[in-house]
Amino acid sequence: MQPIIRVHNLSKRYRIGRVERYRTLRESIVRSVAAPARIARAMFSATARDRAHDAERHVWALRDVSFDVMPGEVLGLIGRNGAGKSTLLKLLSRITEPTAGRAEIYGRVGSLLEVGTGFHFELTGRENIFLSGAILGMRRAEIQRKFDEIVAFAEVEKFVDTPIKHYSSGMHVRLGFAVAAHLEPEILLVDEVLAVGDVAFQKKCMGKMGDVARAGRTIIFVSHNMASIESLCSSCLLIGSGRLEAQGAPAEIVMRYMTSELRGHGGVRSLVEHEGRRGGSIPVMRSVSLHAGDQVATGIARMGSPFEAAVEFNAPHPIRPALGITLKTAEGMPLFGVSNRWTNQGADAQRVSSGTITCGFESLPLMPGTYLLDLHFGDFGDPSRDLDIIRDAISFEVAPADLLGTGMLPNPADGPIFWTAKWKAGTAGR
């Protein structure tokens, strides 16, 4: 099967502080005739210092990016702000021309890159729907067949005959997405613009993009919502500083991105001289390491993943170790605590002077964000006190994951705890 999009060494360079001026035909002809003489003068007059200074005035927004997209593939683009994701979509949609390289596209392209992309602000919503369809190469009858569905999806029935310069930003987004998704382009390019809409609209858009993907059309989707990327996309690209850093399965690429962005303590921290140790403590705890389902320490854990905290200790005399952990938000608000004192696990164990005690969670019940651990280390032989207490012993990040298979996350305003439930609806009286 032939790729529907082929990108080969695509590059885009911008000159800093320069606004491109459009020339008349006469100016272009005169400039072309004078070009040989101008180039010759530049070669003799330019110094190495001048050339270096000129290089400093340019920035590569995209550099040597190559990849293929197969028909029906849903490709996610992720990366930090300024990485080059939007520039790549603009090159694919032919809004701007590449400085070097090429992009081969085999099919009609519908794009939603920013509010009102492709709209004429003096025209009404109705007129813009037909204009957008015509640009996509659709016949009027095809557009008319989809018209009512587009208007209903965008929720602009009352304003469809109003010039869109009077629309709110939300109305622009709704109509723009509805047109791009419903007029059946072979390729749909969607930027982070959907973040402008409200939660209900975002959910509706995700559902529609899922429908488009299941219909076999190709989507390239830029988003900072990692759960949406995992839910919707079949493959993913990580863009960094204008270059393609990684390509692969969405879960793998998302985890790589989150790990690189949120380094923290790397999942390991020495506790020997920790500033959070409570006065009067015996410095028994030596280090703490965090693990998320494997043996490698990490400062990043995905929602719902297995999670483990391992504390290495060295006591002045043999003990039966007891470990309590309080999990807190980044602001210091306690969420919950656990301790093997409460379960008596280890109460009858052999006494040791040194070793490691581990606390594990089968599924981490936390929303995305930054969290802290308080550690309380004691001896089952002395239940009256803890030997060593360290506040804010280590921090870690929780990365989003599409645990529910919907591409949606609970509202972060509802709190930091993630919990699932079973739902059952019945008739009245049951």
What mean pLDDT is predicted for residues 273-294?
91
298 shares a domain with 224: no
240 shares a domain with 109: yes
Q: Is residue 239 pLDDT above 70, yes or no?
A: yes
What mean pLDDT is predicted for residues 86-97?
90
Cβ burial 171-203 (10 Å sphere, 16+ → b, else e): bbbbbbbbbbbbbbbbbbbbbbbbeebeeebbe
Q: Is residue 321 pLDDT above 80, yes or no?
A: yes
189 shares a domain with 108: yes
Q: Is residue 429 pLDDT above 90, yes or no?
A: no
Provide the pLDDT for residue 92: 93
Instruction: Give the CATH number, domain containing residue 378.
Output: 2.70.50.60
364 shares a domain with 328: yes
What mean pLDDT is predicted for residues 17-44?
58
Residues 6+ apart with CB under 8 A from 247: 67, 235, 236, 237, 238, 253
Among 41-45, 57-61, 354-358, the minimum mean pLDDT is found in: 41-45
241 shares a domain with 128: yes
Instruction: Give the CATH number, domain containing residue 244.
Output: 3.40.50.300
- Cα–Cα distance measured from residue 401 to residue 403, given in angstroms and rounded to the nearest whole number: 6
What mean pLDDT is predicted for residues 242-252?
91
Identity at 301, one-letter amino acid code: A
Provide the pLDDT for residue 209: 81
Provide the pLDDT for residue 366: 92
Provide the pLDDT for residue 102: 94
* Residue of 417 and 9 predicted with greater confidence: 9
Domain holding 245, by residue range, is 62-261
430 located within any domain: no
Last residue of a domain, one of 231, 261, 291: 261
Q: What is the DSSP string of 3-50?
A: -SEEEEEEEEEEETT--PPP--HHHHHHHHHHHHHHHHHHHHH--HHH
Q: What is the mean pLDDT of the chain?
A: 84
Is the Cβ–Cβ distance between 315 and 374 less than 8 Å?
no
Helix, strand, or coil (residue 345): coil
190 shares a domain with 284: no
229 shares a domain with 179: yes
321 shares a domain with 215: no
371 located within any domain: yes
> Number of folded domains in the chain?
2
Residue where the block lists tokens 């081969």: 104
